[in-house]
Structure 1
Amino acid sequence: MTETRTETFALDDGRALTLTIAEPERVVRGGIVVLHEACGVTDGVRLLASAFAAEGWLTVAPHLYRQDEVRRLSGDSVLADTDVAFAFLAQRGIAPDLMGVVGFDLGGAIAMIVAGERTIGAAVSIAAGGIINPVSPALPALIEIASELKCPWLGLYGDQDDEIDSSEVEKLRDAVIESGMATNVVRFADANHRFDSAPEAAYESWQRTLNWFDAHLR
């Protein structure tokens, strides 16, 4: 498995952000920005970054916040931080249409917010909350931005999720169609919030994520 490294990346305009980076050992196909959940950049996030790198994607996980700062998140702050991650990829010669963003839970909600504001190649949200009621007071509800998507978006949800009602997921499915972008919402009948109750669904969600980026980042 590809090892990760963590460093501070600074732009000429003074912006700087801590990034965890995983580089492919072969030709770089494009870039993936991995957005972490409320616990921050954990070993699981590093493992995910390594897994994408093993598939040929230059992968970067921006350190968006500490656990005690979640409620301070705003649309402007998450866009500013993900822009730094995209700038890192751009400096490595990766064009916007070869950049993707993916996140789980809170990171999944942020991934969709980014997809509604930035013209990139594709986005994937896994178990993204905040569909009707935003996950942070200064973030939009996903249903409010669903029609504004600027790139293909894939949403993956488990029907056994105690935190997200499947009726909200269906409302989101209907809403994203209005964006005119390629979208897909997949519900897994036996999966819970973290997909750990259904290994087959977890594997399928991973394959669907890879296939989504394969299809749209080209």
Structure 2
Amino acid sequence: MSMMRIEPFDGSGAFEGYLAKPEGAPRGAIIVIQEIFGVNPGIRKKCDDWSAAGYLAMAPDLFWRLEPGIQLDPDVPEQFQAALVLMGRFDQDAGVRDIEATIRAARAESGARKVGVAGYCLGGRLAFMTAARTDVDACVGYYGVGIDNLLGERHAITNPVLLHIAGADHFVTPDIQARMHEGLDDHPKVRIFDYPGEDHGFAAEMGKRRSEDAAQLADRRTAEFFAEVLG
């Protein structure tokens, strides 16, 4: 496990990404998109788990323009508040361009294998934006926030997308969930799974938010999805 340097498209410097390589040739590449807490131990563990499953895995530091290398713990109130401030300052459009640069790097690093994206919270929203704005091969979004405000981009999605919705998500209320279903249920490339009674962050790798059974179910569905699309 190591860090790698990624060149952004705008030539404004460079940023780092956590890199986890599998034993032998990768079956594909998976980019893990952070929550609002940076590339913290939970995000790095997701990369490690994907590499153990045979994928090359990368997690770009999307907050590098604000506070490079920051890692926050959602269970510490002061750090949670700091994360909310960072989210408010974060340029999501620039973030998607940085994800696109990471997709390019992942294809080069993996030997032109297919690339998937798995995002959580803010990353779930960015995964949806990535599906609509890039040529990534597959996208998964866990409890993405504000996707109902992105439905105007649904027609640009041409590759498979899987969304996990937490039924009791205090950031994504039932009316928002209903708009997501209304806007996406008939999309031939989008599949949505609902998790009744589960709250935001239920698939976190560690900490108080994790809900074990729901996390394992969602992760199993994600693994099956990537196996089908990426190989």
Q: Normalized against structure 1, the TM-score is what?
A: 0.84
Q: CA RMSD in A?
A: 2.2
Q: How many angstroms apart in 2 are the aligned matches of 1:12 and 1:157?
A: 32
> Where do residues 79-94 of structure 1 align in structure 2 (5 Å cutoff)?
79-94=96-111
**Residue identity in the other structure for 2:104:** A
3-state SS in 2 of match to 1:24: coil
Paired residue for 2:138? 122
Q: How many angstroms apart in 2 are the aligned matches of 1:173 and 1:203?
A: 23
CA drift at 1:13: 8.1
**Residue identity in the other structure for 2:224:** N
Paired residue for 1:6? 3
Q: How many residues align?
A: 205
Paired residue for 1:137? none
CA drift at 1:24: 0.6
3-state SS in 2 of match to 1:88: helix
Paired residue for 2:75? none
Structure 1: 4+ residue segments shifted above 4 A: 11-15
Paired residue for 1:158? 166
Picking from 108, 116, 128, the partner of 2:124 is 108
Q: Is there any run of 5+ residues in structure 1 with no aligned partner, and where?
A: 133-140
Distance 1:174 1:28, change over 3 A: same
Paired residue for 2:201? 194
Picking from 153, 158, 164, the partner of 1:145 is 153
**Residue identity in the other structure for 2:5:** T
**Residue identity in the other structure for 1:192:** D
Distance 1:99 1:201, change over 3 A: same
Q: Work out whether residues 191 and 197 of structure 1, in 8 Å CA contact, stay in contact via their aligned partners in 2.
A: no
C-alpha distance after superposition, 1:144-174 (max 9, x if no partner): 3233312111110121212211332232123
C-alpha distance after superposition, 1:1-45 (max 9, x if no partner): xxx322323479845221111111233001011110111111000
Distance 1:81 1:36, change over 3 A: same
Distance 1:13 1:90, change over 3 A: farther
Q: Work out whether residues 34 and 123 of structure 2, in 8 Å CA contact, stay in contact via their aligned partners in 1.
A: yes
Q: Normalized against structure 2, the TM-score is what?
A: 0.80
